[in-house]
Structure 1
Amino acid sequence: MSTADRKRWDARFADLEAVEPGPPTALAGREDLVPTTGRALDVACGRGAVAVWLARRGLDVEAVDVSPVALAAGRALAGEVHWVEADLDDGLPVDGPYDVVVCQRFRDPALYPALVDALAPGGLLVVTVLTGEGAFRAPPGELLAAFGHLDVLHHDAGDREEGLVARRPLTPAAASPGPRRDPGR
């Protein structure tokens, strides 16, 4: 990401009011799927509403964003989250495994395999992307195509947003996005 992009995000976050911690939109009504112990990762966390919500559930949370302004707002909400300033164009700057990985309204298909790799066996993945026209918007069905090899617990594709909640299988081979062999052959 360029310096100009980082400054644009800083300016956007600086002009926003404080956030109230809460779950990612794809989890609406399914919050009980999130464990109350373990590790969690919030990718492109912005001002930290989801990261703080996860921490208040009892998880050890790492939250990553490119904007130091956004991360400062997150720190003001909760110091117990480990806030990481990083450009996700360079990949995930943290190491799993995580029991929960959240990526809300940040789209980078090149990062999708790393999100799966960061999950512990049985770990929960929660991804939401904006849909429609534009470079940062997903075409219909992108999340199912990218994460359909996981155990999909919920998928919702609306006019403006697509959300997916999935669990990484307990067996490593089942979590691979590669082609599956028919065990009957």
Structure 2
Amino acid sequence: MSTSDRERWDARFGGLGAGEPAPPGALVGREDLVPTSGRALDLACGRGTVAVWLARRGLTVDAVDVSPVGLAAGRELAGATPVHWIEADLDDGLPVAGPYDVVVCQRFREPRLYPSLADVLAPGGLLVISVLSEVGDTGGPFRAAPGELLAAFSHLEVLHHEEGDGEARLVARR
């Protein structure tokens, strides 16, 4: 990711405010799938709303983002809730090692990372991923082709999958 991309995300996060802890969109109504102990990884965590939600459920959380402004907002939101905040460019690969009981990646699409996302899952671990999609949208360089997530994670047990309105979501278990 270039410096201009980091600056763009810093500007975006700087104007959004603190946010509220919340589950990832793909888990709304399925929160019971998430364990209340173990390790979690939140990739491209932005302002940390999911990371803090996971930590408040009892998980030990590593939260990764390229934006120091987003991470600072996450630290503020977390308060005394322990989250390990990691500034890293995911275009360079994962800066952490598993195993993780939960891996979340929302609205960051890098197909080269798909194998790594599955690899860091512990046996029985939960993968929650959402990306922009061509399905129900005009397409573009950052949008997944129809069926991309299903194809990439077909070796996992798919618990939920949907595509439409410009987004693809997948929840799967290793």
Tell me which residue corresponds to 2:38: 38
Q: Which residue identity lines up with residue 148 of structure 1 in the other structure?
A: S
The answer to whether 1:148 aligns with 2:150 is no
Segments of 4+ moved more than 2 angstroms: none
How far off its partner does 1:129 sit? 0.6
Distance 1:52 1:134 in 2: 31
Deviations 1:120-143 (A, max 9, x none): 011000000111211111111110
Bigger CA drift: 94-103 or 128-137? 128-137
Q: Which residue identity lines up with residue 118 of structure 2 in the other structure?
A: V
Deviations 1:88-131 (A, max 9, x none): 01100011100000001110000000000110011000000111
The answer to whether 1:167 aligns with 2:157 is no
In the TM superposition, 1:102-121 aligns within 5 A as 102-121=104-123
In the TM superposition, 1:11-22 aligns within 5 A as 11-22=11-22
Q: Which residue identity lines up with residue 123 of structure 2 in the other structure?
A: P
In the TM superposition, 1:88-107 aligns within 5 A as 88-107=90-109
Deviations 1:75-96 (A, max 9, x none): 0011510000000011000111
In the TM superposition, 1:7-86 aligns within 5 A as 7-79=7-79, 80-86=82-88
Q: What residue ranges of structure 2 are gaps of 5+ in the alignment?
A: none
The structure with the larger Rg is 1
How far off its partner does 1:17 sit? 2.1
Distance 2:58 2:14 in 1: 28
Distance 2:133 2:161 in 1: 14
Aligned length: 168
SS at match of 2:58: coil
Q: What residue ranges of structure 1 are gaps of 5+ in the alignment?
A: 169-185
TM-score, with structure 1 as normaliser: 0.89
Aligned with 1:134 (options 115, 137, 140): 140
- Are the aligned partners of 2:18 and 2:76 in contact in 1 as well (CA < 8 Å)? no
Identity across matched positions, percent? 77
Distance 1:25 1:150 in 2: 20
